Amino acid sequence: MKSVRVSLGHDQEALAPIHEGICASPDISRELILGGHAVDGIETITSFVYGDPEAYESLLTDLESVREYEMTPAEEGFFLYLRRGLGPDGRSLLDALTQETVVVVPPMEVRSDRTIRLTLVGHSSALSSVIEEISAGTTIDILWTSDRVTTTETPVSDRQLAALETAWEVGYYEVPRRNGIETVAEALDCAISTASELLRRGEAQIIGQTLERQR
């Protein structure tokens, strides 16, 4: 099995109406589709939207395809339950990218730069087939691949996480800094060079993942 993280770029003409609205609105940054399915031409999804509920609701009220929706406010945005009719082909993106041995792993990230990012898991040949069948008006960029079943980049190790948590607790990341790397090393019962390396590697991994999500 292989995992692949892809970014689907859309021409202006190929954008779905809601995605087009997200790109145009200064009050919505992105939507994370957490799950969904399509039955008899009706797609049902649940997602988390980073943005203003009223701005997003204005996108829905003008669409005849929307059957029902419900929003639950939360920090940084809101949760959304949405049912809508699909286009002429009657297929949702989730279903279109899924084959017999391929799974689309939520969340799917609908971004304001006209791209959608998602992770696919399955047999190598089937993944290649899905990528080849991307419709006209859509480009595909491979962000990363893995020979393992995974949904994200390799997380920080347990030792790196312990070092980061310890550094936070002793005030290493406070401004101004309350304690230095020597205090972190003492709390971890390791050499200063070891503590420094654990923090650098953990920080690099977390910063890299954060930047990748924001691009």
Asked if residue 38 lies in contact with residue 92, where contact means CB atoms within 8 angstroms, the answer is yes
Closest CA to 47 of 34, 57, 60, 38: 34
Summarised one tens digit per residue, pLDDT across range 158-189 is 788 889 999 999 999 998 999 999 999 999 99
Summarised one tens digit per residue, pLDDT across range 1-24 is 888 888 999 887 778 889 999 999
Cis geometry, peptide bond prior to residue 17 (ω within 30 degrees of 0): no
Prediction pTM value: 0.68
Asked if residue 186 lies in contact with residue 169, where contact means CB atoms within 8 angstroms, the answer is no
Residue 196 has pLDDT above 60, yes or no: yes
* Confidence bin at 101 (pLDDT 50/70/90): confident
pLDDT (0 to 100) of residue 201? 85
pLDDT averaged over every residue in the chain: 85
* Confidence bin at 143 (pLDDT 50/70/90): confident
* Confidence bin at 77 (pLDDT 50/70/90): very high
pLDDT (0 to 100) of residue 151? 63
Identify which has the larger pLDDT, 152 or 6: 6
Of 85-94, 97-106, 191-200, give the lowest mean pLDDT range. Answer: 85-94
Residue 118 has pLDDT above 60, yes or no: yes
Residue 80 has pLDDT above 90, yes or no: yes
- With residue 201 as reference, give the H or E element that holds it: helix 192-214
